[in-house]
Structure 1
Amino acid sequence: MKFFPFLLIFVIVASSISLERNEIVTLYDKNDAAHFKYYENESHLINWYEWWYANLKNSEEGVIAFFFTFGNLNTFSRLVGIFISYLNESECIEAIICHPFLPFHLDYEKCNVSIAGNRFYEENGKFFIEFSGRNLKIQMEMEAYGKRYGSEAKIKDWQWAGWYVAAPYGVGKAWIEYKGRRKYIEGDTYHDHNWGFSKMHRFSWDWGEFNVANRYAVIYGIAGIDDEMRGGVHFVNNSSHVFIPYDEINVEYLEWRKIGWAEKPVKIHLYGGNKSLGIDFYVELHRAYILGFKNEGKPYLLGKASGKIWVNGKEMDFESIGFYEHHGFI
């Protein structure tokens, strides 16, 4: 499980870069398809990464899933795999498969990833995950809402990050089998896709995603790379996407608690904005899940966001449950 915190760090840092471009395709979106073949002749292939992430959650339980690839996918120096977990108030049921020899298939027309017979794909405008492990089986269906958006940004030298949010918010359901039990859950969903070239840095970052009654989403991602902060806050609904860059907002950490192996903020205040979008809301810990090592593992945080936003001068109160993350320099 030492690999999983490393993967989570990459997910949020790549996700925090500000908006550069915005494209929508009626059914399938090539921005959510694989990208490796377009860069397979580049240098630094050992530093290539690409993955598809999704979650489903309600106030009591949830599912998180990563289908990931690292390195030169044309050689056995690659790393290909899946991490998936069912989360509830008493335990985290996890499965990870990961090694260079796993059979896999990538689709360059749409989201359609297959790794060792497990799938993450889009069909008729919905997203599906099918996973069958030794001790855990999950089938998940996600209906996506909100205007898709994404960005590409230079990190440093030859390093750059691509990020695409194919499902800013939505609803979903999952069928789970583990330890001889069967579960069915429903909740809010989120899905994004990350790719690029990068090596390890000293990162500091915050990220959170909150679905507000399937009317809109508030998503924030802020990362520090060599002490330079990037990212900001996104407002997304079915017809628009509005972004506030980091230098126009403030982030205050009001309360902290040791969770698993690390001190984590359990109350955060985000406020600021511009003429297009203003924010003044709090994120407070709702539930902490521990991945990997029980009480000493990797914290994965479910938060409650509440406060106000202003979109083109219109004020709205909101409250929502969603996942959030924070890391200091590592």
Structure 2
Amino acid sequence: MELKDLKYFVEIADQKSMRKAAASLYVSQPNLTRSMKNLENEVGAELLKRTNHGVELTSIGEGLYYYANSILKQVDEISKMRLENQKYVEAKISIAIGGCILRDDMMLQYYETIRANRTGIYIVETSVEEVLKSVEALGADIGLVSINHIQMAAFHKICELKGLEFHEIGTGPLYVHVGKKNPLYGREWIDAEELLPYSHVQVPQDYFSNMNYTTNLDGKIHMMDFKKSIIMNNYHAIISMVKRTDAFIFGNKWQKDELEKGQICSIRLNNCDISHYLLWVKRKRETLSDKAEQFLKLILDCYSDPAQR
């Protein structure tokens, strides 16, 4: 009998819902169902039953719930003792990010939530394609990406082929970000053709960004119409370029507040119906480490839409 199965069982009982428990545990519902089936096979009896009011415990399930809670609390106490008595503790987290910019204070918040003498925070800012490769190859614990609705079908298929699962954090419209050197600064809405005189700053091309090449922004202007471009492989260098020149970047709502701190404004495009998704990615059939779960909780607290929490 695995502790993981007991943890899942207790969370389902507390939430009275498989869906809510899966969201709280950051696992898929099929994995949760499979885990409960294994537990019921070991106990030799049905533990949960579905009703119109959600998931309820059977009489045997109620008995197991009492013991499972006790076991998990004792295990938690043992873990705390081990951490307290270790002379050297290392916390390590690796995140691959594509198409978005993390808030600067997230690293500080993460550091303040952990208990370690040595902390390793490894963040790679890269393309969406490389994020998926990194998570698949164990180079990153979690991937965080922003893609548009045009890319979603391909993203879903590639995740399936690589044995990855993804979860939606939120959705929002396409934005244009410009600094004070750009004459469009301070506008709330513009037409896409007003951007044509300025340089489009972007990361190196990959499979997903190439899908945008023929994208129609507003019925008249396509991505391929922007002939002036600057390719850079570092998001902070890109932000510096936008801040100090009249260049622009396409982006999303999740980086608006952070960019405003650097006097970069966010503008909507007239007649543009492109939707962006913010997603987090992990390997299927693999439980996140405690440190990865802590970092993921920070991400969700910072960026998720109320309906997704």
TM (normalized to structure 2)?
A: 0.23
Greater helix share, structure number = 2
Greater strand share, structure number = 1
Which of the two has higher C-alpha Rg? 2
TM (normalized to structure 1)?
A: 0.22
Query: Which fold has the larger relative contact order, with Cα–Cα distance below 8 Å and residues 6 or more apart in sequence?
Result: 2
